[in-house]
Structure 1
Amino acid sequence: MNALNFGRRQFRRTALAAALGMTLASGVVYAQSNSSGVIFGRADSATGATVKIVNVDTGLSRELPVSSDGRYRATSLPVGSYKVTLLRDGNVVETRDVQVNIGSGSDVSFAAASATQAQTLEGVQVVGTSLPAIDVSSVDSRTVLTSEQLQRIPVASNVNAAALLAPGVVAGDSRYGGVISFGGASAAENQYYINGFAVTNPLTGLGFATLPFDAIDQQQILTGGYGAEYGRSTGGVVNLTTKRGSNTWKAGAQVQWSPRALTANPRSIYYPQHTGNVTDGTIYQDRSGNKTTNTLYGLYVSGPLIKDKLFIYAAADVVRQDGSRGVTNVLTRTSFDGPLKANHWLGKIDWNITDSHILELTGLGDTNLNDTTIYSYDYATKSRTARLGTEHQKNLGTANSTPGGVAYIGKYTGYITDSLTVDALYGHSRTDHIDVVTGAAGVNCPNIVDNRNVPAARKRVSCAPVQGNLNTPGAYDEVDNIRFDIQYHIGDHDLRVGIDNQKAESFGGLAVQGGATWTYTTPPASGTISGFPELAIPAGSTEIVRRQIFRASGNVKVEQSAQFIEDNWQVSDRWHAYIGLRNEQFKNFNTDGVVFVKQRHQLAPRLGLTWDVFGDSTFKVYANAGRYHLAIPSNVAIRGAGPQLFERQYFTYAPGSIDPITNVPTNPVAISGIHYANGADGSAPDPKTLSAKNLSAYYQDEYILGFDKQLAPDWTMGAKVTYRKLRSIIDDMCDSRPIEAWAARNSITISPDANIPGCFLFNPGKGNTFTVDLNNDGKYENIVLSKADLGFPELKRKYVALNLYVEHQFNQQFYGRAEYVLSHSYGNSEGLLKSDIGQLDPSVTQDWDFPELMIGSNGPLPSDRRHQLKAYGFWQMTPEWMFGANLAAYSGRPKNCLGIRDPDIYNYGSSYFYCDGESPRGSKGRLPWTYQLSLNAEYRPAMFNHDLSLKLDVFNLLNQQREQNIDETFQTGDGNPSPTYTRALSYSAPRSVRLTARYDFSL
């Protein structure tokens, strides 16, 4: 059989989607509702000419007149395959097939003058010049991945793994879970949507609620230049549309199996070589057995409840992770075992009430359960010993980056007239978070950290099953989202106005496990401990311990409202302009329900222009500029606006006077007073004084200039330059010295019981006005402080990138794309997060607490991967055999050294860019390059009509396990050298194998 003509019947749908839907270069025309698309074009404008558009799967039909200038446009179309027919006086002139992609436009032109733009498929063959690889009307930067591509490219079955295929997207710090960073922004600055509803983690902005991966119809990744309908993002947007039912009953099932036996051993972690430490080069964590067997069982069913009217789609995944024999580090000396269970489901009903009115109802669930049994572990014998207890978690994930939950979404689309379209959406989600630890009966086991310079076997450990902070019982998040917009076409203009309102409520917080953390240390040679000037270490004392108590929790709420207007203006046949404006308002409520931050009239203009150089869609030059705002996440209210206790105190104790079970000193003697870090004494701050007056929102400006060029019918290439500059952020300042200096200048005496918050929310790098009760008498002073008064440097975060790509469109056999990005992300603030230390406190990082912390902070930021190379594609060798590949190479992350600057009067410990002298950000070199090559092979036997798929995926084929991040703290909190400085925190995932059996059939 001729390889170019095989499998016509079996691959009809796939070929249509691949040939028409695989435009992975920069976006498409006309910003659309973020869960639908548009068909537009030129046609014969003779009297009586109309265009009829019919959805191949559902029968949805629209008929539009051709305007006097020969143009037509159909908006808010559900994604899918369509037939577009030109009619004259009711007679068929010509019919074309087209695929509508998410948030995109498809040009179906019939006029002879635009024949080179024809988009026609006959069977599985592309007729004429096929789909033009360049859309001359796009102004944004996007990647659209169809369900067929997600099956064919060797990529892990999760949304962020697929998003990493897009240019400029890199993995975030491993301590935040499997998060991603767009264009130099922190990983907490992205937005995720499912069928138009925002599913981003409302508490921290990290991660999102997900769905069965096989239920994704299309995944759109917006990396820049997106229109005014999108907000609350200064990173990127991931937009998902789900599959839906059609007029044919279909069903399918699959099993994915990644066996532990076929997974390479993860690299173990060792103490770095630091001369003088007894731990030099010894094992820190034996990870050789830290691997699991992962199994996914999935099924789906779809079809018509009423032909052409009412359709259903339902899918479910059950994921099991078994066989874990994880081992923690030598300090905590525990081993864990327990299955991770994830259940994902989705149900969707589509009702074509009439051809002019459509209703969509979606329900989805994402539940993550982790039941872990914890044992003590003997590193000498490499064996488990006593059972310590269990931990039950629901919808927590790593660092809350996979929040889970249940969501319900309703969307209405009304084609009121040929020129007027209305879209309305309402969505609601709720996530319950559970974290329950069960240990030895009747024993309160606190956290134990042993920083003494002694062999690991002699270090004290906690009897608690887990260490760290635990989530508050009863924690939950709820989100309500309303979107409404009207689109109107008049002449050369497509106008759109809308609202986008969201309310997020949360109850949450953290408290230290066991009530306290006890940190043992060797007495410093200096006899003093940095940050505690009153500390006097008694002569002859050989043992010192610090007790630290932390807790913070409460109910909080964030209300975010936005209005937008945009105009897509076809200036001429070769010039297209996009003009948009978004107006946003943000309100944050504290744990008492009082507004502590309110921001109005945050205007975000968006402008774009494209030029069809030759007038034949083979060469496009485009540019855009825009401003993007970000609201403060809910977590700020818990950590900054609610009651918080952060208490520290030092003790000495007699050698050997240690409780044999809890490892806590039995008779500690206080050698310091109680220190409340940043004034966190357990009371709630006054909302009037918590933030600076007239606080500016978090926002960023972006500029893009690029071109796309068709080299041959199947080949395109292009380049673009992106520049981003963070203009304003919100963080917390914990320095009272500028207020004290202001009072002295104005001859005002501050009373000992003055109501001065421990920290203020403010705009770093500029002047701020604070409201403070200096005499605790209810009278507030407006304290105007200049940038010089505050002592902080200018805010700086910039990102510049050059992106080059070449792409081969699918031609029934081969698809491929290669992309290179040369970028630089630099400044003195990462944004919402601080990946230098893995701090999970968006918008209240320690960066801007005191000016001394910012000395030396300017340099390459954690997301700075100077070089990025990505290449992926697939080859349909025969009707039975398909092969795919995915290569990703990144240069390493910059390295820092964070030490203690003397005097450390606020006891921040090893947090300064100072290590035996100035140590500017990024001055310690780079981590090694990361390489990942993944391959797959799929077999569809003809005897099963190609409906059975047997597939093998090998991820990280060469087993390149490179350092992803390291411990950058040079000293322990007491000033001694840290034995773990430069220790690897994580490595890239080892080689693994995934076997998939899948069967799809029609009923």
Structure 2
Amino acid sequence: MYRRRVQSTLSDAVASWYSVRDFQQGFSCLRSRSRRERTLAQQFPSRGPVAALNRKRRLDGSQTLEGRIVKATAIRSSIWTFAIAICALPLLADGPQTSTIDGTITDAQGDALPGVTVTLTGPQNTRTEITDANGDYRFALLQSGNYTVTADLEGLGSVERAVVLELGKREDVDLTLGATAEEITVTSEAALVTKYDTGAVTALGEEALEHIPQATRNYWSNMKLMAGVVSYRQEFDQGPGVNGGIAQENVVFIDGVDISHNRRGGEMSFYMPSTVITENRMESAGFSAEYGRGVSGVMNTTIKTGTNEFHGDFLYIGQNPAWRAENWLGVPRPDSMINSYESGLGGPLFRNKAWFYGSLSEMNDNALDLTREGDLVDVNREAKPLVGKVNTQPNDRHQLALTWIDSPSGRLNPPGTAADVYSITRNSWNNRIQTLTWSFALTGSAFLEVKAANRELTTARIGSPPAPILPDALPDDPDGNDFRYRDLADGLRYNAPVQRLGAGGNDFPRDQANASLTFFRGKHEFKAGIDVQDVTFATITSIGTEYRGRGYSRSLPGGYATPVNKRVFDCPVPCNTAFTSGIGAAYIQDRITVGDHLTVSLGLRQDTQDINNNLDQEVMDYQKVAPRLSAVYDLNADGRMLVKASAGRYYDYIGLGVVFTEFTAGANGENAYTQYGWNPETGLYDVFQRRVEPRDPLASSVEPYYKDEISVGFDWQFSNNWVFKSRVTSWEMENMFHSTLQFDEQGAVVRDLRNWPQNRRQYEGILLQLNRAFRNDWSLQMNYARDWNEGNNESRNDNDDHLEGFGGIEVSTGILNPTSGPNWFGPISYQRDYLVNVIGMKVWRFGRHDLMTSLSAHLADGEPWGLQPATQVRHPVSGQTITTTTLRETRGTNRLDDFFTLNVNATYQFPIRGGVQGIIGGEVANVTNEQALVLINTRNGRPHTSLSTYQLTREFRLKVGVRF
């Protein structure tokens, strides 16, 4: 009953994205290109976020937006996609989506052979080239997948080699023909290392993604199995840390489309099953000049494509709360089936010319929790992703690809810091991608790739039923209002939506276009590119008033045993603002082959970004140039033992969250408030303490921070099936910025945003990988990571308490400057002394019957943490106070539990009729039912009383389906 009540009742401040048009209209208005329209909308929020725009349009004689927003938004997206595609044609970018196979054909004496017929057989068609006078050949504009290269010359026989081609990569396939007229066919397996991968690369292929079980079936759950990837809070796979960085410092792509979070950067919010993915690929240390806007890792996910053969599958996933093991809270596990499915269909539209792939799924992560009052709540994340992809190659010179993904999802948030039924919220996410890629062979040695894309993310924060207001209660008591109470002792929230900005929502459109030109000349591979993006962050907030104190109780005067203050925020509820950013990048790179052993890459990248606030005032504008250098030395000139080294500078993206917080012109619902202290005589918060005004948006700015990195590695393919990889990396993060509250010369409290020279992070780490390719029906992947990752700042937004209230005295202890000092430098939360992953697969064949068995194991030591309670610092002259936090012990002094999970899968495939196979099997997540503590309240050092505080319990899932 509680679940139905929460899901069907909305906060007065906001309505669901899916059902109430004002929410959609508000975002449509805020994202308008007209500054006047935005201003009008913000002047009349109490009449609906789109009312002012409607009045303006009536005066112009045009129709209102009511009833037409969804259609208008769809039309806008289509126009944007078409317009960007046209505008991008002259450009020369991030993330190439087609790959290249090239090489040289020689005879047994090593002499080049011109006139050799080279045939490339792939999943979509067959292509043929003739070697030139130097014995060279090249196949470009290729999709990722499995290929076979065959060289044939009359009198010298033929030779072939398998090639596994990864997204946007180049593979060098040199072949040697025999010395006799007798036909000789030699088959060799695909190489497992390449001199063209200069960085530290980890990839999970289609077999692993389909059969390796994880805590959920969402595609990002597999990311934690990659070398050096740290999941924040161990199982929060949406925000992985890579190469010592934090989640917001990654760059995330799907089919080459940048889906990084507009507000903070990094993070993954799409919900899709792993069964629609061809490859998850992660590049960490040493990635080339093609990539930027992130300092830690580049993650690219490739959607499946159609082939010349029709193929499809339907997989039913059966889950049940009763099939989970008992949890530490004793949450009831009702016997109730959860029916989900994953389906896919692909094949030719026109054989050898055009292909399609489509997928429709319904997903559920089977999660229940308890409120602090003991009520059972359903916190499943439910999703219905729809995926479509069309590829066409009318001839060898042209290729077009169109991808469309729609992934709506939603859930009731786990209680966490929501301490009562009135603070729990429901979130919904509507994720969408539309992208068009055109690849064109200008000549036999020059290739152009152009991409236009629209990425949408709309989120809603839907409040619980508002707290009841009793007529006889004082207005500042919990029974007298429906505003939020925040307990400074433990950070818990009561009486109103828990989220920082209250009920409301966000809109994050990201329109983008890029193009790259690759040109081969002699021993040089030149590449140049440009990338442009138009990014928006529109938001609706509804805080209103927030009460602060220690020891919350609904029955106490003012709501606390120790009332502190209340903040009355400016801006009517709901409060609407929008911010935009233009992002650009250009790079040039030359990869040079020097003799038979050495390959050197020289790159230079320029990143630009301009940011406008809610009144279209430009508040930030920068241009940064970053050099990249890498080298690969082939010890034996046979491509099997490679020494790699890289050095470079990497600039991070400035998310629009900092613009909302620091550069809003006027009130945005959070940045302007009046603070009142508690008056025990009146039982009210009516003692004026201070007035906080929005900072002047044009008074100061910040620069993006950057990382300087060096790394050295060694890759060794010591047999046809086995490869060993290693990487040692060292970097330092510089110029980090964050905002604090400070005292000015008169002792008044002011907000201060700057690049702090005192902030620093430093990292040294080692990665080891030992992998066996999936051949002869089995594979094994193992990786180990160890790092030394320390710093005094790891802010996930622009706020951090380090150095806050400088010059102030801690009220409770009399300590000067409690927010600085040696305690602040230590292991950050993403640091791990050890990180081990094992992935294994084995197919057992019995005639036409197959049994696929697989497992994954993940072991890591616990997350570091230090006690960081709330405190107050007071100016010694004015007496003004700042509420902040301080580290009572060195950062990272303590650790949470070590984390281990073992997941297993068994799937039996049997013939039904013709090419149709039946599927039946099951998978078990967390076989040993480990219950590691993964979340701690650093304010008081105690675990939260939410199920997500501990590792997810063991779960069994049933799988039944068909495949053809």
How would you bin the TM-score normalised by the shorter chain? 0.7 to 0.9
Given that 2:221 and 2:237 are in contact with CA atoms closer than 8 Å, whether structure 1 keeps it comes out as no
Given that 1:966 and 1:982 are in contact with CA atoms closer than 8 Å, whether structure 2 keeps it comes out as no
Given that 2:912 and 2:918 are in contact with CA atoms closer than 8 Å, whether structure 1 keeps it comes out as no
Distance (whole Å) between structure 2 residues aligned to residue 291 and residue 673 of structure 1: 55
Alignment of 1:220-369 (within 5 A): 220-268=281-329, 287=331, 294-320=338-364, 326-329=369-372, 335-337=376-378, 340-369=381-410
Find out whether 1:845 has 2:800 as its counterpart: yes
Q: How big is the shift at 1:687? A: 2.4
Aligned with 2:799: secondary structure?
coil
Distance (whole Å) between structure 2 residues aligned to residue 463 and residue 226 of structure 1: 48
Q: Structure 1's 591 and 461: CA in aligned 2 closer, same or farther, altered over 3 A?
A: closer
5+ residue gaps, structure 1, are 1-30, 115-120, 269-285, 380-386, 396-403, 454-459, 524-536, 655-666, 741-749, 766-793, 834-841, 971-977
Alignment of 1:545-694 (within 5 A): 546-550=565-569, 554-600=577-623, 602-642=624-664, 643=667, 644-653=671-680, 668-670=683-685, 672-676=687-691, 679=692, 681=693, 683=694, 685-691=695-701
In structure 2, the residue matched to 1:744 is none
Distance (whole Å) between structure 2 residues aligned to residue 216 and residue 813 of structure 1: 20
Given that 1:43 and 1:66 are in contact with CA atoms closer than 8 Å, whether structure 2 keeps it comes out as no
Find out whether 1:820 has 2:820 as its counterpart: no
Aligned with 1:266: secondary structure?
coil
Q: How big is the shift at 1:425? A: 0.3
Q: How big is the shift at 1:641? A: 1.2
TM-score, L = length of structure 2? 0.78
Match for residue 164 of structure 2 among 96, 99, 121: 99
Q: How big is the shift at 1:226? A: 1.1
Q: Structure 1's 351 and 651: CA in aligned 2 closer, same or farther, altered over 3 A?
A: same
Given that 1:969 and 1:981 are in contact with CA atoms closer than 8 Å, whether structure 2 keeps it comes out as no
Aligned with 1:759: secondary structure?
strand
Q: Structure 1's 597 and 287: CA in aligned 2 closer, same or farther, altered over 3 A?
A: farther
Q: How big is the shift at 1:473? A: 4.2
Q: Tell me whether 936-945 or 717-726 shows the greater mean CA deviation.
A: 936-945
Q: How big is the shift at 1:388? A: 7.2
In structure 1, the residue matched to 2:483 is 446
Distance (whole Å) between structure 2 residues aligned to residue 179 and residue 203 of structure 1: 14
In structure 1, the residue matched to 2:961 is 998
Q: How big is the shift at 1:313? A: 1.4
Instruction: Give, as a single letter, the amino acid of the residue that structure 1 aligns with 2:661.
Output: R
Match for residue 902 of structure 2 among 921, 928, 933: 933
In structure 2, the residue matched to 1:213 is 274
Given that 1:291 and 1:326 are in contact with CA atoms closer than 8 Å, whether structure 2 keeps it comes out as no
Match for residue 96 of structure 2 among 34, 38, 45: 34
Aligned with 2:275: secondary structure?
helix
Q: How big is the shift at 1:588? A: 1.6
The superposition leaves residues 17-47 of structure 1 with CA deviations (integer Å, 9 ceiling, x where unpaired) of xxxxxxxxxxxxxx99532222122213756
Instruction: Give, as a single letter, the amino acid of the residue that structure 1 aligns with 2:734.
Output: R
Given that 1:294 and 1:319 are in contact with CA atoms closer than 8 Å, whether structure 2 keeps it comes out as no
Match for residue 188 of structure 1 among 248, 252, 255: 248
Instruction: Give, as a single letter, the amino acid of the residue that structure 2 aligns with 1:326.
Output: D
Aligned with 2:939: secondary structure?
coil
Instruction: Give, as a single letter, the amino acid of the residue that structure 2 aligns with 1:258.
Output: Q
Instruction: Give, as a single letter, the amino acid of the residue that structure 2 aligns with 1:394.
Output: S
The superposition leaves residues 817-839 of structure 1 with CA deviations (integer Å, 9 ceiling, x where unpaired) of 22221211101112x42xxxxxx
The superposition leaves residues 233-271 of structure 1 with CA deviations (integer Å, 9 ceiling, x where unpaired) of 112111011111222222221112232111112323xxx
Instruction: Give, as a single letter, the amino acid of the residue that structure 2 aligns with 1:170.
Output: V
Distance (whole Å) between structure 1 residues aligned to residue 677 and residue 749 of structure 2: 24
The superposition leaves residues 190-209 of structure 1 with CA deviations (integer Å, 9 ceiling, x where unpaired) of 11111111112212223233
Distance (whole Å) between structure 2 residues aligned to residue 963 and residue 991 of structure 1: 15
Given that 2:872 and 2:881 are in contact with CA atoms closer than 8 Å, whether structure 1 keeps it comes out as no
Distance (whole Å) between structure 2 residues aligned to residue 220 and residue 264 of structure 1: 33
Aligned with 1:725: secondary structure?
strand
Given that 1:32 and 1:38 are in contact with CA atoms closer than 8 Å, whether structure 2 keeps it comes out as no
Distance (whole Å) between structure 1 residues aligned to residue 545 and residue 566 of structure 2: 10
Aligned with 1:546: secondary structure?
strand
Q: How big is the shift at 1:566? A: 0.8
Given that 2:156 and 2:178 are in contact with CA atoms closer than 8 Å, whether structure 1 keeps it comes out as no
Q: Structure 1's 548 and 993: CA in aligned 2 closer, same or farther, altered over 3 A?
A: farther
Distance (whole Å) between structure 2 residues aligned to residue 547 and residue 167 of structure 1: 47
Distance (whole Å) between structure 1 residues aligned to residue 773 and residue 642 of structure 2: 17
Aligned with 2:717: secondary structure?
strand
Given that 2:347 and 2:355 are in contact with CA atoms closer than 8 Å, whether structure 1 keeps it comes out as yes
Q: Structure 1's 561 and 736: CA in aligned 2 closer, same or farther, altered over 3 A?
A: farther
Aligned with 2:718: secondary structure?
strand
Instruction: Give, as a single letter, the amino acid of the residue that structure 1 aligns with 2:274.
Output: F
Q: How big is the shift at 1:437? A: 3.0
Given that 2:114 and 2:133 are in contact with CA atoms closer than 8 Å, whether structure 1 keeps it comes out as no
Q: How big is the shift at 1:727? A: 2.0
Q: How big is the shift at 1:87? A: 5.0
In structure 2, the residue matched to 1:957 is 927
**Once the two structures are aligned, what percentage of the paired residues are identical?**
20
Distance (whole Å) between structure 2 residues aligned to residue 968 and residue 35 of structure 1: 44
The superposition leaves residues 455-502 of structure 1 with CA deviations (integer Å, 9 ceiling, x where unpaired) of xxxxx99565x5444556463111111111111000000000000111
Find out whether 1:170 has 2:226 as its counterpart: no
Given that 2:159 and 2:176 are in contact with CA atoms closer than 8 Å, whether structure 1 keeps it comes out as no
Distance (whole Å) between structure 1 residues aligned to residue 562 and residue 761 of structure 2: 44
Q: How big is the shift at 1:186? A: 1.3
Given that 2:858 and 2:901 are in contact with CA atoms closer than 8 Å, whether structure 1 keeps it comes out as yes
Aligned with 2:661: secondary structure?
helix
Q: Structure 1's 896 and 450: CA in aligned 2 closer, same or farther, altered over 3 A?
A: closer
Q: How big is the shift at 1:90? A: 13
Q: How big is the shift at 1:307? A: 1.7
Given that 2:99 and 2:166 are in contact with CA atoms closer than 8 Å, whether structure 1 keeps it comes out as yes
Match for residue 66 of structure 1 among 132, 147, 151: 132
Aligned with 1:761: secondary structure?
strand
Find out whether 1:138 has 2:181 as its counterpart: no
Aligned with 1:687: secondary structure?
coil
Q: How big is the shift at 1:439? A: 2.0
TM-score, L = length of structure 1? 0.75
Distance (whole Å) between structure 2 residues aligned to residue 723 and residue 373 of structure 1: 38
Find out whether 1:490 has 2:512 as its counterpart: no
Q: Structure 1's 388 and 37: CA in aligned 2 closer, same or farther, altered over 3 A?
A: same
Tell me the matched-pair count: 817
Given that 2:322 and 2:333 are in contact with CA atoms closer than 8 Å, whether structure 1 keeps it comes out as no
Find out whether 1:884 has 2:854 as its counterpart: yes
In structure 2, the residue matched to 1:912 is 886
Q: How big is the shift at 1:131? A: 2.6
In structure 1, the residue matched to 2:775 is 811
> Cα RMSD (Å) of the superposition?
3.8
Find out whether 1:86 has 2:146 as its counterpart: no
In structure 1, the residue matched to 2:77 is none
Alignment of 1:723-872 (within 5 A): 723-737=730-744, 740=745, 758-765=750-757, 794-830=758-794, 832-833=795-796, 842-851=797-806, 852=817, 853-855=819-821, 856-872=823-839
Q: Structure 1's 981 and 898: CA in aligned 2 closer, same or farther, altered over 3 A?
A: farther
The superposition leaves residues 538-577 of structure 1 with CA deviations (integer Å, 9 ceiling, x where unpaired) of 9xx9863632345775100121100001111111111111
Distance (whole Å) between structure 1 residues aligned to residue 793 and residue 293 of structure 2: 19
Q: Tell me whether 625-634 or 900-909 shows the greater mean CA deviation.
A: 900-909
Instruction: Give, as a single letter, the amino acid of the residue that structure 2 aligns with 1:846.
Output: D
Aligned with 1:140: secondary structure?
coil
Given that 1:267 and 1:288 are in contact with CA atoms closer than 8 Å, whether structure 2 keeps it comes out as no
Match for residue 432 of structure 1 among 448, 458, 470: 458
Given that 2:344 and 2:359 are in contact with CA atoms closer than 8 Å, whether structure 1 keeps it comes out as yes
